[in-house]
Structure 1
């Protein structure tokens, strides 16, 4: 067997199963197959192999599901691919093949089933990796941060449960002014190069990674800048996104055989980690820009988000939105929630009227990191927070955000019942960074680190007691 050409990438992981993406290769008149086997750390014997045929329609990739895993346990696994001149047959037949597995042994940890146990996460966005003719320019700049994150994940206590990549994992449009990428083959190549850099590859082979797209996976400020000729670009960009980002996430259901159902009707999704829940929104592809009913989330998604906020018993609720929920930018633009004030107010009023506590909005996009608190002038029980982490690697052509970037001297929204007022609870970090979130019984600690691992800032946000 050969080692994967991209991956393995650990995706959605629970107490008893894990989804793993890998890519092989193809040659004329052959069939290619991916395989994974696994065992608990310390065990001698490997499981039977889990196999899937690789298809050109999915860029010779597959997502394999490991089932019946033990909770809160480190498992080792080997992953690779092989080719054959004839179809091999069912999985049982493949297990009889004299396969020589790649020597590299990876490891993953399943989720704990203990509620109340401290959890940790890494959050980041906006990883710029300029590609010219399929070759990364100065790739060490776009990959260095992931070596630091991997080191932190290996040493952190409590263990890091997952990494949340909240948008702009690649820049399809990085050369728009010279030679814009529009063909599927060119966009797929960007993903292959971006996800096979050595440090990010090592990190994603060991740490579950959850992803959601933002505009640069398609085009800057999509869909505001869309024109009629962009339908071709859009279809190809989403095809590539589904292969490399959505494929290993919770948006896909599982089939009766325990493997991933390839049908996909939405990009937003939820996942649970003990008594912590995440709702990862698609705030990019379901927008309605009509003046009569502007929406950053479609009706179905807004209703699902509100129902989750109201009915979830999670102690901490994280809402991921690739663009900032607040504060608003001084630059007159409508790409973020600032441009959809009615829908934002509906969400705020839902949280306030139902007395929902410990809601955190997680985002990136602005090339600056910060934490902020939102309160209500007439309702002392209302409080939400935003945690922004951006960028993992900035382009030299783009500025970093600063405190002066944002509107901080006036209410976010005014209503007959009172004003929504916000304040920064951190400095604004204007350099490459990532966020390390630690959730324990009484607080969420937000620790921002630079690419060398140095602590830039630490913020403690107290959790509020109550049934909701």
Structure 2
């Protein structure tokens, strides 16, 4: 067996199941298969291997499913791919082949189901990796922060449950003025390069990673400048996104025989849970309506699903991921974020306030600056939501960092007949490459920001109610 050309990437993980993405390679017309075997860490007996056939329509990639796992348990696994010499081999027959597994062993940990257990997450977004003629330029600059994240995770207590990447995992438009990506092969080349750098590869092979797209997976500020000629661009961008980001996440369901059902992918937003903590990851990019009479950041179906989740969830903390910021608004270009959709934003805030939903935290990226902020209501002391922003993992020298002066902070977010929504920063604005290490304790959330070398920048404590 050969090592994966991309991956392995641990995706959606529960108390008893894990999804693992990898890519092989096309070798003429020969069929290619991927396999995985696993065991409880430090045990001697491997479980019987699981296999899938790799699909040329998905860039010779696939998602392997491990199930019947035990909760809160460390496992180790080996994985790789191969093309058998006999073209007549099938999924059923390759199981019997005497395979030599790749020597490298990876580790994963399943979720705990225990309530009130402290849980930790890594937050990040906006990782710029420039390609020239398909080759990364100084890739170590865009990869070094992932070595720092891995180092933090190795000694973290409580263990880090997952990484949340909230947008701009690639920059398909890094040469937007000269030759923006339009063809499918150009998009998948970006993903191959971005996800196969050594430090991010090591990180995602051992910690489950959840992803959602933002504009740079498609085109800057999508779809504000889209025209009829961009239909092909969008179709190709989404095909690559579905392969490399959505396939190993909860947006895809599984078939009865334990394989990813790609036909089940009807939308990119998804909820998932981690014990008594729940997440709702919105698609705040591809379902926008920019018409003057019905501006929407998220479509009706998604808004209804989000509100239903908010009111029915019994979680002690509800995290809502929106790749662009809910608040505060930027002084310039606020139309691309929730500031450009004030009616829908107010509708969501009023829903949270009127239903007295507590401990709602909005997770965002996008702005190339990190911060935390608190939102209150002038006439309703019981209302409070927080935003936690982590961006960028690696910036381009062509793009500015956000600073405190970037945001509108001297006036209410919005005014209604029932009072004002008022916001304030609860942290400094970080204007450098960084990531957030977020720990959810029984009584508070601690957000620790670190620079690209892992140096601690600041800590923010958000009380839970």
1:138-189, Cα deviation, whole Å (9 max, x unpaired): 1011000000001111110000000000000000000111222111111101
CA contact (8 A) 2:17 2:68 kept: yes
Q: How does 1:86-97 map to 2 (within 5 A)?
A: 86-91=87-92, 93-97=93-97
1:371-426, Cα deviation, whole Å (9 max, x unpaired): 00000000000000000000000000000000000000101010000000000000
Partners of 1:332 and 1:396 in 2: how far apart? 19
Residue of structure 1 equivalent to 2:304: 303
Partners of 2:202 and 2:145 in 1: how far apart? 12
Residue of structure 2 equivalent to 1:289: 290
Residue of structure 2 equivalent to 1:380: 381
Residue of structure 2 equivalent to 1:159: 159
Residue of structure 1 equivalent to 2:207: 207
Residue of structure 2 equivalent to 1:335: 336
**RMSD of the alignment, in Å?**
0.7
Residue of structure 2 equivalent to 1:458: 459
| Deviation of the 1:42 alpha carbon | 1.9
Residue of structure 1 equivalent to 2:313: 312
Distance of aligned partners of 1:123 and 1:87 in 2 relative to their CA distance in 1, 3 Å threshold: farther
Displaced runs of 4 or more, over 3 A? none
Residue of structure 2 equivalent to 1:36: 36
Indicate whether 1:175 and 2:175 are aligned: yes
Q: Tell me, what secondary structure is at the counterpart of 1:456?
A: strand
CA contact (8 A) 2:125 2:392 kept: yes
Residue of structure 1 equivalent to 2:223: 223
Residue of structure 1 equivalent to 2:325: 324
1:336-374, Cα deviation, whole Å (9 max, x unpaired): 000000000010000000000000000000000000000
Partners of 1:42 and 1:187 in 2: how far apart? 40
Partners of 1:257 and 1:188 in 2: how far apart? 28
Residue of structure 2 equivalent to 1:352: 353
Residue of structure 2 equivalent to 1:185: 185
Residue of structure 1 equivalent to 2:19: 19
Indicate whether 1:370 and 2:336 are aligned: no
Q: Tell me, what secondary structure is at the counterpart of 2:458?
A: strand
Q: Tell me, what secondary structure is at the counterpart of 1:19?
A: strand
Q: Tell me, what secondary structure is at the counterpart of 2:240?
A: helix
Indicate the larger mover: 81-90 or 15-24.
Answer: 81-90
Indicate whether 1:67 and 2:76 are aligned: no
| Deviation of the 1:29 alpha carbon | 2.7
| Deviation of the 1:262 alpha carbon | 1.2
Partners of 1:224 and 1:193 in 2: how far apart? 28
Partners of 2:90 and 2:242 in 1: how far apart? 27
Indicate whether 1:136 and 2:140 are aligned: no
Distance of aligned partners of 1:96 and 1:375 in 2 relative to their CA distance in 1, 3 Å threshold: same
Indicate whether 1:426 and 2:427 are aligned: yes
| Deviation of the 1:258 alpha carbon | 2.0
| Deviation of the 1:90 alpha carbon | 3.3
Partners of 1:79 and 1:383 in 2: how far apart? 46
Q: Tell me, what secondary structure is at the counterpart of 1:345?
A: helix
Partners of 1:180 and 1:158 in 2: how far apart? 42
Residue of structure 2 equivalent to 1:234: 234
CA contact (8 A) 2:53 2:91 kept: no
Residue of structure 2 equivalent to 1:256: 256
Partners of 1:369 and 1:135 in 2: how far apart? 30
Q: How does 1:391-406 map to 2 (within 5 A)?
A: 391-406=392-407
Residue of structure 2 equivalent to 1:274: 275
| Deviation of the 1:260 alpha carbon | 1.4
Q: Tell me, what secondary structure is at the counterpart of 2:428?
A: coil
Residue of structure 1 equivalent to 2:439: 438
Partners of 2:192 and 2:88 in 1: how far apart? 26
Q: Tell me, what secondary structure is at the counterpart of 2:362?
A: strand
CA contact (8 A) 2:214 2:285 kept: yes
Residue of structure 2 equivalent to 1:412: 413
**Which runs of 5 or more structure 2 residues have no equivalent in the other structure?**
none
| Deviation of the 1:332 alpha carbon | 4.4
Alignment coverage as a number of residue pairs: 463
Distance of aligned partners of 1:242 and 1:332 in 2 relative to their CA distance in 1, 3 Å threshold: closer
| Deviation of the 1:333 alpha carbon | 3.6
Q: Tell me, what secondary structure is at the counterpart of 2:254?
A: coil
Q: Tell me, what secondary structure is at the counterpart of 1:334?
A: helix
Normalised to the residue count of structure 1, the TM-score between the two structures is: 0.98
Partners of 1:90 and 1:172 in 2: how far apart? 35
